[in-house]
Amino acid sequence: MGIEKTTPSGQVLYTPAELMVTAAAREIHDGDVIFVGMRLPLLGFQLAKSTHAPNAVGVYELGIVRDTAAPEPILTMGDLPNLYRSQWLADTADVMGLLQQGLVDMSFIGGAQVDRFGNLNTSYIGPSGRPSTRLPGSGGACDLACLAKRHIIIMTHEKRRFVPKVDYITSPGYGDGPNWRKRIGLPRGGPARVITTLGVLRFDSQSREMVLASTHPGVSIADVLDSTGWPLLVASDIQETPVPTADELSTLRQFDPDGFWTG
């Protein structure tokens, strides 16, 4: 893709997707068991494994557990390099069993629509009986949002996607606020971060409402507020999202050499 690594003045250049993948990878702690999703999370896990989290374990819903990065670039979790010398090739129900037991530290999911409590919709825009738009559906996202110790949402930040109330809850966040998850029977978890094209958001520990924690370089708080469909809370200690290091970028580009996901 010919992405320049630095400007003549030495500034590191990156694409928005590379910033998002790097932010996602940094949420993975060494030794974590991670339920890895499609698209950017696929790269985030590869990046974390190859940099700061060499002991992380990746669990994939189609029935794969890996404790090494796949040896060659992959576009789907079922690409053959992702099966090669994996720790376990198994049934979906078995890897989902690890999740259901509470053994998965973190998962990543994407969404089309999200609300202020982190409820995600990837199923229907409009009523489910006669939708204006049918989206692909849950896949494993609902399971990951229900059963991981925490999950991270990755999505495009636009007003039509950040809505006061989602049309359909595919993957539960904090429902209508404090104690909702416990009340409806979910054993644990909830969204920890939302990594978007504009910034990173977290959830208030009391109200469970989304709070803007950082903006990406070149993005203003006003940009984010304009792209959010409700009066978004802003953290008092709001920061700028750390940019990828040259080392992270060169590692990441080995896993996505043609920029299929991050170009």
Q: Could you give the residue numbers annotated as active site?
A: 61
What is residue 93's DSSP assignment?
H
With contacts defined by CB under 8 A, how many residues of the chain interact with another protein? 54
Selected range binding another protein among 10-18, 20-28, 176-184, 194-202, rule: CB under 8 A? 176-184
199 by Cβ neighbours in 10 Å (0-12 / 13-18 / 19+) ranks as buried
The torsion of the CA quartet 142, 175, 178, 202, rounded to 10 degrees, works out to: 70
Nearest alpha carbon to residue 96 among 28, 35, 31, 33: 35
List 124, 162, 203, 255, residue binding another protein (CB under 8 A): 124
Q: Residue 171 or residue 241: which is nearer to another protein going by CB?
A: 171
List 100, 197, 207, 254, residue binding another protein (CB under 8 A): 100
125-149: b or e for each residue (b if 16 or more CB lie within 10 Å)?
beeeeeeeeebeebbbbbbbbbbbb
Determine the Cα–Cα distance for residues 88 and 200; give it in Å rounded to an integer. 33
What is residue 113's DSSP assignment?
E
- State yes or no: residue 131 binds another protein (CB under 8 A): yes
**Least separation, in Å, of the C-beta of 196 and another protein?**
18
Amino acid, res. 18: E
- State yes or no: residue 147 binds another protein (CB under 8 A): yes
**Least separation, in Å, of the C-beta of 249 and another protein?**
22
List 19, 23, 47, 142, residue binding another protein (CB under 8 A): 142
- State yes or no: residue 76 binds another protein (CB under 8 A): yes
Query: Is there a contact between 193 and 106 (Cβ–Cβ < 8 Å)?
Result: no
Nearest alpha carbon to residue 153 among 108, 88, 184, 114: 108
Determine the Cα–Cα distance for residues 184 and 195; give it in Å rounded to an integer. 26
**Least separation, in Å, of the C-beta of 13 and another protein?**
26
Q: Residue 80 or residue 222: which is nearer to another protein going by CB?
A: 80
**Least separation, in Å, of the C-beta of 240 and another protein?**
30
Residue 41 CB partners (closer than 8 Å, separation 6+): 24, 108, 109, 110, 154
Selected range binding another protein among 91-99, 157-165, 198-206, 238-246, rule: CB under 8 A? 91-99
List 22, 46, 50, 170, residue binding another protein (CB under 8 A): 170
Selected range binding another protein among 9-17, 43-51, 94-102, 205-213, rule: CB under 8 A? 94-102
Residues that bind another protein (CB under 8 A): 38, 60-64, 75-80, 83-84, 89-93, 96, 99-100, 123-124, 128, 130-143, 146-147, 168-172, 175, 180-181, 184-187, 260
